[in-house]
């Protein structure tokens, strides 16, 4: 992925209509919801498999890492949103279908970032 | 509980024979093992009951608190050990039977701290 700085100026100037904001918010929330569900499932699996007390603190560490990773990844500021959506496309959390309704320039910015 | 300082001088001067150390270590490990098992059980229960993602981070916080509490509580330095054993007696993690084999002065220090 190119550094955010490479896109920062055009992204900051990008205009979002209320309808485009709604599409972006829905896609963002969809991906976040899926990711959180996956973490809930895996946390339950990990807890069931605990046999040694030391594995408790591994679960704690794993949860802390997941929380920090999710906080870092899901940044809804419009100035970085196309980069965030691109990373969600790239890792399969979203499809292009989920982004239908975004403006042409927004989709272009997302695709460009997803390819880089 | 009286402040540790009230006991610190005599406790620091207390002598521990190898046999007394072995009794103390066994009792300490027994209580710690029971406590860790209880935390494992409760962590599994909590994980099974998770329905909302926010409860994941409650589980994380709860585990962090348990880990810190256990680290604080289970301090094996001989200079504070009678106070530690006293707190384990008081909260029911140990019985006087578990301390059989300690010297008279050690038992006295534990009982005195457990009553205070």
Complex ipTM value: 0.82
Reported confidence tier of residue A13, pLDDT bands at 50, 70, 90: confident
Q: Which of A2-6, A21-25, A81-85, B77-81 has the lowest mean pLDDT?
A: A2-6
Counting every residue written for chain B, the total comes to 116
Reported confidence tier of residue B6, pLDDT bands at 50, 70, 90: low
Higher pLDDT, A3 or A21: A21
B44 touches chain A (CB under 8 A): yes
Average pLDDT over residues A3-8: 53
- As a whole number of angstroms, the distance between CA A87 and CA A80 comes to 11
Reported confidence tier of residue B44, pLDDT bands at 50, 70, 90: very high
Bridge partners of A100, per DSSP, are A102
Q: Nearest CA of chain A to the CA of B27: how many Å?
A: 18
Is the distance from CB of A25 to CB of A18 less than 8 angstroms?
no
Q: What is the pLDDT of residue B74?
A: 97
pLDDT in tens, A104-114: 999 999 999 99
For residue A11, pLDDT beyond 90: no
Give which of A32, A37, A40, A58 to mutate to test B binding, by max B Cβ within 10 Å: A40
Q: Nearest CA of chain A to the CA of B87: how many Å?
A: 22
For residue A7, pLDDT beyond 80: no
Reported confidence tier of residue A31, pLDDT bands at 50, 70, 90: very high
Count of other CB atoms within 10 angstroms of residue B107: 17
For residue A5, pLDDT beyond 90: no
Reported confidence tier of residue B5, pLDDT bands at 50, 70, 90: low
Average pLDDT over residues B38-56: 97
Q: What is the pLDDT of residue A4?
A: 55
B30 φ/ψ angles, rounded to the nearest 5 degrees:
-60, -50
Three-state secondary structure of A63-102: HHHHHHHHHHHCCCCCCCHHHHHHHHHHCCCCCHHHHECE
Q: Nearest CA of chain B to the CA of A63: how many Å?
A: 6
Tokens of A80: 């970085």
B37 touches chain A (CB under 8 A): yes
Average pLDDT over residues A19-43: 97
A22 touches chain B (CB under 8 A): no
For residue A25, pLDDT beyond 70: yes
A63 φ/ψ angles, rounded to the nearest 5 degrees:
-65, -40
Average pLDDT over residues B11-38: 94
- As a whole number of angstroms, the distance between CA A14 and CA B51 comes to 38
Reported confidence tier of residue B30, pLDDT bands at 50, 70, 90: very high
pLDDT in tens, A50-79: 999 999 999 999 999 999 999 999 999 999
Q: Using a CB-CB distance cutoff of 8 angstroms, which residues of chain A are in contact with residue B54? A: none
Q: What is the pLDDT of residue A29?
A: 97
B50 touches chain A (CB under 8 A): yes
Average pLDDT over residues B93-98: 94
């Amino acid at each position: 992925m190119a550094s955010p700085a490479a896109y920062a100026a055009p992204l900051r100037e990008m205009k979002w209509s209320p309808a485009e904001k709604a599409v972006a918010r829905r896609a963002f929330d969809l991906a976040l919801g899926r990711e959180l569900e996956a973490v809930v499932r895996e946390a339950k699996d990990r807890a069931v498999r605990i046999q040694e007390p030391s594995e408790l603190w591994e679960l704690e560490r794993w949860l802390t890492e997941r929380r920090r990773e999710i906080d870092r990844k899901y940044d809804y500021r419009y100035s970085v949103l196309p980069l965030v959506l691109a990373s969600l496309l790239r890792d399969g959390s979203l499809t292009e279908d989920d982004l239908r309704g975004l403006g042409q320039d927004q989709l272009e910015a997302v695709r460009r970032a997803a390819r880089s």
